[in-house]
Structure 1
């Protein structure tokens, strides 16, 4: 059974990952990325990738799960940024 700290980590990861979902949905619907910062999302991809690697290295399931899903969402935003120019 996961430790309390793991459950807290999963809850934190759920909150921070879910925070990206409304922006992804809004951008998909509007097909407008003019207000989306390319630099911010590019830097987020680097940071999230590093957190994912860290999570894998230390064997932290909450860190791996949250950052894997967030990387997908942020990656989708970057693809839309280039596609909907």
Structure 2
């Protein structure tokens, strides 16, 4: 039963990145996003993924794998905005 709770929680928190990622891809606007925060966030998610792989915890693995992809897309757009568009 608690594994289902984990999958639901993981799904909701992971999918919450989808609207922001889509918006940034469409608008290419990342001015209001903190580069430092997103760098730390992506690194933290990567560590959570490693932890999930180590422990074999599927909700943690799936959620952090998808979140890593979505948040990395946002981070790439932010890095381009900060370093390439000046």
2:37 matched residue in structure 1: 40
2:6 matched residue in structure 1: 9
Equivalent-residue separation in structure 1 for 2:66 and 2:79 (angstroms):
21
Cα offsets for 1:18-39 (capped at 9, x unmatched) = 1111111111111111111111
Structure 2 portions without partners, runs of 5+: none
4+ aligned runs moved over 6 Å, structure 1: none
RMSD over aligned Cα, in angstroms?
1.0
1:74 is displaced (CA, Å) by 0.5
1:11 is displaced (CA, Å) by 0.5
1:83 matched residue in structure 2: 80
1:72 matched residue in structure 2: 69
Q: What number of residue pairs does the alignment pair up? A: 82
Equivalent-residue separation in structure 2 for 1:49 and 1:76 (angstroms):
14
